[in-house]
Amino acid sequence: MKDRVTPLEGVHNFRHFHGYQGLEGARVREGLFRSGHFSRSSEADRGFFKDLGISVVADLRRPRERTLEPSNWPEHFALRVIESDDDDHHEPPHLQFLRKGDLSPEAVHNYMLSAYRRIPRETGNQIVFREGFKALASGEADAGFLVHCAAGKDRTGIFCALVLGELGVDEETIVEDYLLTNHAVDFDALVPLVMERMVGQTEKPMSEQAIRTFLGVHADLLTQAFETMGGREAYLRDVLGITDEERDALRQRWLVG
């Protein structure tokens, strides 16, 4: 699993989610990537990204997140970016929680459970989920596809789980891919920086354990998301409006062997 991770200079949690075994022994073909945001990408990061040949990016961040930390893509690079201007244009929900809430590890985990109940229902996420899925199914993203949010773990993790599930990857592997964030991110280096930032933003101290809970992922969070959806197939069909033809096209394009 750790071989899937590519450490970059200014982008956290960059890795691929192709190569898994899917339906009838076929494998998910190369070209599927996931990460945190690219606002701090270095010149070397941008060169690496350009060499991958990615043609479509699904950016799951809210409008305010994109404004505060705009993506730093390679110059003069043909790229379609899928994003949404829906939902809250003000302070992100996690910052609202951090300003007002109990910051114990237990409270942080409970907040994350509530976030995973919210994420599948938000209009902006649904728009990007839908258009990202359609791009994968239509052939528009055949050259390469990247999905990201801020940290590349929650909104991104749910989308990747939806796609891998549609391609027939088994549930245990999907959860392992989701949990890889806990190994892909250098928490020892990141936690002190986040602790300092949190105090500056919220004027409230936060323990190291609570921050690790906030920055990491846990299997019960993904379970919560799919329970909220009512299952993958119902969510794709009834909420996102993905047709059976598009589901079949996704498999035809992204399964090989």
> Could you list the pLDDT tens digit for every one of the 257 residues in the chain?
779 999 999 999 999 999 999 999 999 999 999 999 999 999 999 999 999 999 999 999 999 999 999 999 998 888 999 999 998 766 778 777 877 778 889 999 999 999 999 999 999 999 999 999 999 999 999 999 999 999 999 999 999 999 999 999 999 999 999 999 999 998 888 888 877 777 666 667 778 898 899 899 999 999 999 999 999 999 999 999 999 999 999 999 999 98
Q: For position 202, what pLDDT does the model report? A: 65
**CATH topology for 2-256?**
Protein-Tyrosine Phosphatase; Chain A (3.90.190)
Q: Looking at residue 77, what is its pLDDT? A: 87
Residue 200 pLDDT: 66
Q: How many CA atoms lie within 13 A of 65 on its CB side?
A: 22
DSSP string, 63-93: HHHHHHS---PPTT---EEE----S--SS-H
Instruction: Give the pair of three-digit tokens for residue 150.
Output: 């801020």
pLDDT (0 to 100) of residue 89: 66
Question: What local confidence, expressed as pLDDT, does residue 203 receive?
Answer: 67
Dist. CA 41–CA 39, nearest whole Å = 6
Query: Which pLDDT score, from 0 to 100, does residue 87 have?
Result: 81
Rounded to an integer, what distance in angstroms lies between the CA atom of residue 101 and that of residue 35?
28
Four-point Cα dihedral 187, 188, 190, 196, nearest 10: 130
Start-to-end C-alpha separation, the chain: 21
